[in-house]
Structure 1
């Protein structure tokens, strides 16, 4: 296990937090839990596929039933499917990319918002990319679906932050760029 989500979960678990491994693949999710438990980290697998609302709703209900709140939500799902020029990007790639990179985190955030409101210091972190920024030059070749989906994710983060501040909810939200792009 070497992904961003796993490493983040490990670091949070080392600080004493219970780590909920939300993954669509049961085998990989349970393997991550096994590794963390072997490191004396409290961890549990929860089925969650960001492209399937039923699993999102079931995961939120399970967390409500088991814990009554959620302190940290990490939107880490993402795909990068294309590398061709924008004029050659297929609509199917655009839709699949947005489904995972934007609509998924939006649906997960909305589903878990009531649980985050139950926390004293809730945090939402969305894994984005420098490629979703208008302020940084894009590498070549351009990845239209990926870059625009991450730009949309960043704007969603800004919009949620404005609402949280206006409503005086004790929820902080941000987007992070974990790598070279």
Structure 2
């Protein structure tokens, strides 16, 4: 049985991804900062819960220990946790505003991925799925027909550009683990002010990669429609 951890899995796209993967028969661990909300989400879905704050080394190490002790391995890691940060132009942005977004969206991905690599390597087909965004795509933010061109999200957008490149670099240098990035697109959750398509559509790209098993590729960036322009 496939064992999957989803960070930020107690709400929004993470929750929907967890719901769908539980329905697919996977053993899903919902990772969340808030123990009460995380446990409630896990109980509702028939998943397991592990407390994890992706910005904290000790919290991440404790989550690794929990899953090692209770599951023995990890097959799929979905780095879904992310924050929007302050919406401001680069000229008005402080370093601290930028750092706060990168701490979760970028450094958190590296912190969690590296901590879980030993457990992933206990799997026959280890896979890491990083949630990125078209808001970090150079192509899409210049396309007036795309919603990505409408939002000047310097901190969030650039953090997702970094996530995509990190995914590609992991894929190039870590051939025994599959690394892929997925873009949910603008999805109607609290994160977007409930604008966009359904959470079912938002979770589709992650679900596809997470259910490919031994056929999982590496080094791809996709949304629900296919390859994402960069």
Instruction: Give the aligned length.
Output: 172
Q: How far apart are the structure 1 equivalents of 2:51 and 2:25?
A: 22
Unaligned runs of 5+ in 1: 38-42
Matched, 1:90 2:99: no
Matched, 1:8 2:8: no
Q: How far apart are the structure 2 equivalents of 1:139 and 1:82?
A: 18
Distance 1:29 1:2, change over 3 A: closer
The aligned residue for residue 148 of structure 1 is 158
Distance 1:143 1:114, change over 3 A: same
1:29 to 35, 38, 42: 38
Q: How far apart are the structure 2 equivalents of 1:2 and 1:99?
A: 20
Q: How far apart are the structure 2 equivalents of 1:134 and 1:113?
A: 30
Say if 2:140 and 2:149, in contact at 8 Å, map to a contact too.
no
Q: RMSD of the TM alignment (CA)?
A: 1.4
The aligned residue for residue 180 of structure 2 is 174
The aligned residue for residue 132 of structure 2 is 128
Say if 1:132 and 1:149, in contact at 8 Å, map to a contact too.
yes
State the SS of the aligned residue for 2:101: helix
Matched, 1:18 2:24: no
1:45 to 43, 49, 52: 49
Runs of 4+ in 1 over 4 A off after TM superposition: none
Matched, 1:116 2:111: no
Q: How far apart are the structure 1 equivalents of 2:101 and 2:107?
A: 9
The aligned residue for residue 227 of structure 2 is none
Unaligned runs of 5+ in 2: 1-9, 142-147, 188-230
How much has 1:2 moved relative to structure 2?
5.1
The aligned residue for residue 40 of structure 1 is none
State the SS of the aligned residue for 1:87: helix
State the SS of the aligned residue for 1:74: strand
Say if 1:128 and 1:154, in contact at 8 Å, map to a contact too.
yes
How much has 1:120 moved relative to structure 2?
0.8
